[in-house]
Amino acid sequence: MKSTPLLAIALAALLSGCNKSAETPGQIRVAVIPKGTTHIYWKSVEAGAMKAGAELGVKVTFIGPQREDDRSQQIDLVKNQSLQNDALVLAPLDAVALRDVAKEVADKGKPVVIVDSSLADSAGFITSYVATDNAECGRIGARAIAATIGEKGKIAMLRYMQGSASTEQREQGFLDEIAKFPGIEIVSSEQFAGPTASDAQNTATNLVTRLTDGGALTVNAIFCSNQTSTYGMLQALRGKNLAGTVKFIGVDCDATFIDALKKGEMQGTVLQDPLNMGYLGVKTAVAKLKGEKVEPVIDTGATLVTPENLADPKIDALVKTQLQ
């Protein structure tokens, strides 16, 4: 079948929406394919990947789907970029849907480093898994929630999206840890924020409405498992004039979260280290290409940021890597 002009235009548009470092002849080429490219989290991953590329003299291409629920576009990107690059660093937006295409690349002898979110049944073919210990991230959030409400009360959790392994592990870690506190009751834990900020805000607003009686919330605390869900919930609470009336712990970094911490609208957010994730993802892929030993799992860490420790130099440095 002959290619149509429309197909050619679509492919060109797909390939043009990416960032590339400069290339020299014979240079190692690594493609970094995130879940999306709009959130500040992924911009931090990109900064880390480009930093590694500059240090190692490697050409890095950073390209991802427009939406974090577009499985078919991410699959197409993996197929296309595997033809143009020596190794892939992939943040799969679905743990199952991306498995086969990632395995196809690995079976051709090209390193596949998974970052941020795990891939189902992939230990036998991926090069390494570079990510936050997501279960521990959730446990940190649970302990923080418990401390803020004196280990008793009612809480709600807003999930992110079905199929996202990183947030599913985070949410399960939260639920497992919070179960250790017999005085805490989870009254809502099955709502999904969705892939975009607007989706998350709409879902959060509906949840807050359901959990409100007589103008006041019927829960003592809320936990959200990633940047999108946290942002959506914060905007929903502000929109209902309820921000600061409930204890609120989120995950990831955003300028609005730092502002909310300072105002007492949030009591904490668990920060990952996406810059380090992107950096180590590229370094690990290059090390494998050079025949060096690589670790099968690399934990990039998780840190609870609170109003009390915001001024700590180490915390301030971590925050700045994700806001610049």
Half-sphere exposure of 158 (CA within 13 A, CB side): 35
| Amino acid found at 235 | Q
SS3 for the chain, per residue? CCCCHHHHHHHHHHHHCCEECCCCCCCCEEEEECCCCCCHHHHHHHHHHHHHHHHHCCEEEECCCCCCCCHHHHHHHHHHHHHHCCEEEECCCCCCCCHHHHHHHHHCCCCEEEECCCCCCCCCCCCEEEECCHHHHHHHHHHHHHHHCCCCEEEEEEECCCCCHHHHHHHHHHHHHHCCCCCEEEEEEEEECCCCHHHHHHHHHHHHHHCEECCEECCCEEEECCHHHHHHHHHHHHHCCCCCCCEEEEECCCHHHHHHHHHCCCCEEEECCHHHHHHHHHHHHHHHHCCCCCCCEEECCCEEECCCCCCCHHHHHHHHHCCC
Phi/psi of residue 31, each to 5°? -100, 130
Global confidence as pTM: 0.85
Mean pLDDT (the chain) is 93
Enter the tokens of residue 254: 């955003």
Give the rounded distance of the alpha carbon of 143 from its chain centre.
21
Model confidence band, residue 18 (pLDDT cutoffs 50, 70, 90): low
Does 4 have pLDDT greater than 50?
A: no
74 close to 36: Cβ distance less than 8 angstroms: no
Q: What is the mean pLDDT of residues 9-21?
A: 48
| Mean pLDDT of the 63-72 span | 95
| Domains along the sequence of the chain with CATH | 18-132+273-300 (3.40.50.2300), 134-271 (3.40.50.2300)
Q: Are 108 and 134 in contact (CB under 8 A)?
A: no
Q: pLDDT confidence of 26, banded at 50, 70, 90?
A: confident
| Mean pLDDT along residues 316-320 | 95
**Structure confidence at residue 19 (pLDDT):** 72
**Tens digit of pLDDT for each residue in 214-232?**
999 999 999 999 999 999 9
102-118, pLDDT tens digit by residue? 999 999 999 999 999 99
Q: Name the pLDDT band for 10 (thresholds 50, 70, 90).
A: very low
pLDDT band at residue 49 under the 50/70/90 scheme: very high
Other Cβ atoms within 10 Å of 319 Cβ, number = 21
Amino acid 7: pLDDT: 37
Give the confidence band of 23 by pLDDT, cuts at 50, 70, 90. Answer: low
